[in-house]
Amino acid sequence: MENVEEKRMELLDELMIDILKRLPAKSLIRLKCVSKSLYSLINNPDFIFIHYNYDSFSNQFIFLKRYIEIEESTSEYSIYYNGKNMLALHSNDESFKCIAENIEYEDNYIGVNVAGVCNGILCICSYRGIVLYNPTLREFWKLLPSNLPLLDDLCPSKKINCCVDLATGIGFDTNTNDYKVVRILDPSNEFEDFDINSKFISKVEIYNLSTNCWRRLKDLECIIDSLHCSRVLFNRAYYWHGYLNIGHNCIVSFDFSTESFQKHAYPEDFDGNRSESLSVLNQNIALIYYSEFYSPDLLVEQSIDIWIMKRESWVMEFTVGPMLIKKLLLVWKNGTELMIESKEGKLVSCNFFFQSTKELHMSGVQNTLEAFVCKQSLISIKKESAKWS
């Protein structure tokens, strides 16, 4: 009889998990208050893993960051701090409705950017510091101050201002079950006497959530483009647009398990004067770039070439347009539409195939909009850190 009862309870648990894994994270958070058994089940790391990896379109949302001015600039530098960074969640469908009220981020610097998202956890950074944020749980985790820039390494006789050129990425090491943040500093922009003909070298460090500290890695022999549209996380590796030296571009990837970099070539006929973006399309790294490069003050219709990386080789997938595009933010709606920022700082969606555009009725200061497709996640950064204590 005991064996029968045990099997019955196991079956009930499996049935309960099969039901609960289909529910939105917000519903599960409410259910934790119903009973101790539900509280224990929903907080179980195995269930959290099952819930996050359950393939449900309804569990996805769009995370949007934008900068809003709240007063006119009174000095040359006040333009960088006279507004606020707003964080919001929107539905990943035609309506694009706001599904959570806007949150004002604590850092009012206009240069705050979102380095990426991993397992529903976003990495928000600026020269002031780096914060991990789970928008589902409304949970923030501030990283300890970085060891970079190191003045002795860069130039002992000069101080570094706040306009450092930083590239940051977040990932998960499946070998150690640890979250990591990599930070890359390009010191070439800090000094007026930097020789553009010299070898491009970047300083690198990595943060482990398990140890809650930074450590230095080997220098990287190239510099990284820190723009939002020039980076993406794919298959547990982070990809950036990089420069080996003047006129020689490459794509640089970082593997969070081996903590090593790899350089990848661009398509043979790649024109370095084109605007380009890295994204993920149909489970492949995609390179999306425009036919021409135009002045920031101009906005003209452009054709858009889309290349897919397959086994380290680039294949031209298709060309769309011409269409109006200022800056690419995101490929969404199952790879059928581009989310872009217009010249006026408005959020617009462009359909690849019908070449139609639709305003999404959101805006911010020009060049401050960032968008990511996220999945609802019950992964607590604080609990992930505590398990290593």
Q: What pTM does this model have?
A: 0.86
CA distance 42 to 360: 35
The mean of the pLDDT values for the chain is 82
CB 96 within 8 A of CB 90: yes
For residue 367, the model assigns a pLDDT of 85
For residue 59, the model assigns a pLDDT of 82
In the chain, the domains with their CATH numbers are 1-53 (no CATH), 54-385 (2.120.10.80)
Q: Given a cut of 80, is residue 101 above it in pLDDT?
A: no
Q: Given a cut of 70, is residue 151 above it in pLDDT?
A: no
For residue 189, the model assigns a pLDDT of 53
Please report, for residues 7, 19, 23, 368, 374, the alpha-carbon distance to residue 237 in angstroms, rounded to integers and kept in the order given.
Answer: 41, 32, 29, 25, 17
Q: If you average pLDDT over residues 272-296, what whole number do you get?
A: 73
Tens of pLDDT, residue by residue over 20-50, are 999 988 899 999 998 888 899 999 999 999 9
Q: At what angle do helices 2-20 and 45-53 cross, to 10 degrees?
A: 50
Query: How many contiguous H segments (helices) and E segments (strands) does the chain have?
Result: 6, 25
For residue 182, the model assigns a pLDDT of 94
Tens of pLDDT, residue by residue over 322-371, are 766 677 888 888 888 888 888 788 898 988 777 788 899 999 988 899 99
Which SS3 state, helix, strand or coil, does residue 335 take? coil
Q: If you average pLDDT over residues 143-149, what whole number do you get?
A: 81
Q: How confident is the model at residue 58 (pLDDT cuts 50, 70, 90)?
A: confident
